[in-house]
Amino acid sequence: MNKGNEAIIQQILSEIEKYQTVIIQRHRDADPDAIGSQVGLAQLLRISYPHKTIYTVGEEEPIFDWIGKMQSVEELTYSNALVIVVDTPSRERISGSHYFLGAQTIKIDHHVNMDPFADLNWTDESFSSASEMIYYLVAHSKNHLKLDKNSARCLYAGIVGDTGRFLYDDTSSYTFFVASKLLEYGFDAPTVNRFEEDMSPKVAKLMAYVLQNVTILDSGLAYIILNQQILQK
């Protein structure tokens, strides 16, 4: 991790302390890390600051209801709120409008910093996931932020999702350290792992079509062309 993170982390913690209302958003077409980091952060903030009002905003993603659900927020609520956008590299991908109406905006993301759209931008590609970054934020909060069983479960789900169950190259020793610390909170990790394997019947049929119709070249390159007719079907 970039040791330069420490200064911006203190700025983020200061802004969280300052605002009574915090709205957390993530990217469209969400994956486990987007939902996990969003809902996990919301839950730990509720535990750490029971007097604050914390919202999770974005399009509903029923496939990830097992991690957590979204909430409706009126436009006027943004005017006095801190808005934190997680796991989102560019403003075009933000799920849920009105983020720009926040009194203060923060971006927390592990992708290439192609669009520093917030007032405070914490981006670091050395993290495996936004969920891992949220744990780092908690670990460096000097006990101001606290995890519980549910928030730990959400962050673990995000890490498992974005590392492909620890198979991808961005899985580091720190990733395993974070996962082990989250497991100490006692949630049902095997159930989380099984949820990560779930797919809808439509996606399963698409996967079957791909496997039956893929072309593999002598070089080892594999490809398939999916036209609109197939996608519609």
Tens-place pLDDT, residues 19-61: 999 999 999 999 999 999 999 999 999 999 999 999 999 999 9
pLDDT at 201: 85
Reported as a single tens digit per residue, the pLDDT across 184-198 is 999 999 999 999 888
Query: And the tokens for 115?
Result: 């669009």
pLDDT at 233: 85
- The number of CA neighbours under 13 Å toward the Cβ of 54 is 20
Quote the longest CA-to-CA distance of the chain.
62
pLDDT at 97: 84
Of 72, 102, 68, the closest CA to residue 85 belongs to: 102
Which residues, 6+ apart, have CB-to-CB distance to 85 below 8 Å? 24, 25, 26, 94, 99, 105, 106, 107, 108, 109, 117, 118
Q: Which domains does the chain show, CATH number per domain?
A: 5-197 (3.90.1640.10), 201-232 (no CATH)
More confident residue, 199 or 153: 153
Secondary structure element (H or E) that encloses residue 183, with its range = helix 173-183
∠ CA 140-31-137, nearest 5°, is 5
Name 53's bridge partners: 21
pLDDT score of 4 more than 90: no
Weakest mean pLDDT among 63-72, 104-113, 224-233:
224-233
Handedness of CA 151, 162, 96, 86 (dihedral sign): positive
Q: How confident is the model at residue 3 (pLDDT cuts 50, 70, 90)?
A: low
For the whole model, what pTM was predicted?
A: 0.89
